[in-house]
Amino acid sequence: MKRRHFLKASAGAAAAAPLATPALAQDVRQWKMVTSWPKNLPGPGVAAQMLADRITALSGGRIEVKLYAAGELVPGRGVFDAVSEGTAELYHAVPAYWGSKSKGILLFGSQPFGLRGDEQYGWMVHGGGQDLYDEMYGRFNLKPFLCGNSGPQWAGWFREEIKSAEDLKGMRFRTAGLASEVASKLGMAVQAMGGRDMFQQLQSGALDAGEFIGPWSDSALGFYQVCKYYYWPGVNEPSSAEECAINSDVYAELPEDLQMAVRVACSSLYGDVWTEYTTNHARALPKLVEEHGVQVRQLPQDVMVAMGNAAGEVMAEMREDDDELVRRITESYMDYRSSVSDYMVYADNGQMNARALDYKY
């Protein structure tokens, strides 16, 4: 065949051949994310939407995540079971809500007199925490990741001043996680509920006090309208991690690059969420004081010491738990806490104490 005839025939064959359909269009996963939060609640609700968007973006659109706020598909406290059972592919919540599953879970969220947000992440990534986290959640057919942190929380909103640990006895108080155990040991009547329910119960007088997160999120829920005393520091929750958990079967089915996209979406969000809380808490606090007449008070030292002793009792009980995995989680956490606490005397504690001195700057 002459060259010109070959080229003409080849061109005609190419023109007649159909274009290949992109493989991407055939491989889009539709995921439902259920959350424990109202839609776009400042703090956790905003973070949940950020995570949904980030997974979608980092997967190149091969995973499309649709967010369902608390109550839209399942109740806020029902997201753990919904994802475990396959009703939804993943959830956004906090480990502090799952103590009824295992006390060991609670250490991955917040610990009274425990780790700061950066220390918490250090334990997970460099101190063996993630392996224990995976082992515990694997019992429930879940693959977990930390994906944010509120930073230091506040001790809470109170109708009356707190002058001593005696004032806490009999107080009806909303909190969550291991902070509930500490509060109970101090004689408080602990109640678990979401932020909106906490407002309603404070308003009706069914609650005497309660803690949720900090100034930014708490302002959005309007707690200042029913309580004027706002106490710090939140030694009950020096930090509170947010988490994403994915149905284990769903996660295992993903190709390696999409598993990496999910992991990176979660890990990359941790610092973004933590610093957003810090920034907006700092902006919200003066408004609570200046515009709403909130009285910011420090917990008396004897109250903090009583809380610390109660927290020590809680940790001693966890070290003797019947569940061997709970004991291993507790020992790992306690070892890491001891190590970083010794170092922070010279590092962050030293820097913050120096910054608080009276000097011109």
Residue 233 contacts residue 296 (beta carbons within 8 Å): no
Q: Confirm if 246 and 55 have CB atoms less than 8 A apart.
A: no
Longest CA–CA separation in the chain, Å: 103
Is residue 170 within 8 Å of residue 188, measured between CB atoms?
Answer: yes
DSSP string, 145-187: EEEEE--S---EEESS---SGGGGTT-EEE--THHHHHHHHTT
Which residue bears the tokens 């080849």? 10
Q: H or E element: which one contains 59? A: none
Count CA within 13 A, CB hemisphere, residue 78. Answer: 13
Sole residue written with tokens 């429930």 = 140
Rounded Cα–Cα distance for residues 71 and 34 (Å): 9
C-alpha span between 229 and 16 (Å, rounded): 78
Structure tokens at 78: 């029902």
Beta bridge partners of 68: 34
Please tell me if the domain spanning 28-151+239-279 has the same topology as the one spanning 156-237+291-325: yes
Dihedral sign, Cα of residue 125, residue 126, residue 129, residue 134: positive
Tell me the residue ranges of DSSP E strands in the chain: 29-35, 63-68, 90-93, 142-149, 156-158, 172-174, 189-191, 209-210, 229-232, 241-247, 295-298
CB atoms within 10 A of CB 311: 21
Distant-in-sequence, close-in-space partners of 300: CB < 8 Å, separation ≥ 6: 162, 163, 164
pLDDT the model gives residue 12: 42
> Could you tell me the sign of the dihedral formed by the alpha carbons of 62, 68, 74, 80, in that order?
positive
Residue appearing with tokens 């005696």: 166
Per-residue pLDDT in tens (0 to 9) along the chain, 361 residues: 444 443 344 344 434 444 333 334 458 999 999 999 999 999 999 999 999 999 999 999 999 999 999 999 999 999 999 999 999 999 999 999 999 999 999 999 999 999 999 999 999 999 999 999 999 999 999 999 999 999 999 999 999 999 999 999 999 999 999 999 999 999 999 999 999 999 999 999 999 999 999 999 999 999 999 999 999 999 999 999 999 999 999 999 999 999 999 999 999 999 999 999 999 999 999 999 999 999 999 999 999 999 999 999 999 999 999 999 999 999 999 999 999 999 999 999 999 999 999 999 9
Domain-wise residue ranges, the chain: 28-151+239-279, 156-237+291-325
Report whether CATH 3.40.190.170 matches the domain 28-151+239-279: yes
Q: Which amino acid is at 95?
A: P
Tell which residue, 66, 308, 297, 57, has the closest CA to residue 178.
Answer: 308
Helix 129-138 to helix 117-126 angle, to the nearest 10 degrees? 80
Strand partners, 29: 63
Query: Would you call the peptide bond into 238 cis, given omega within 30 degrees of 0 as the criterion?
Result: no
3-state secondary structure of 31: strand
Q: For 156-237+291-325, give the CATH class.
A: alpha beta
Fill in the DSSP letter of residue 96: G
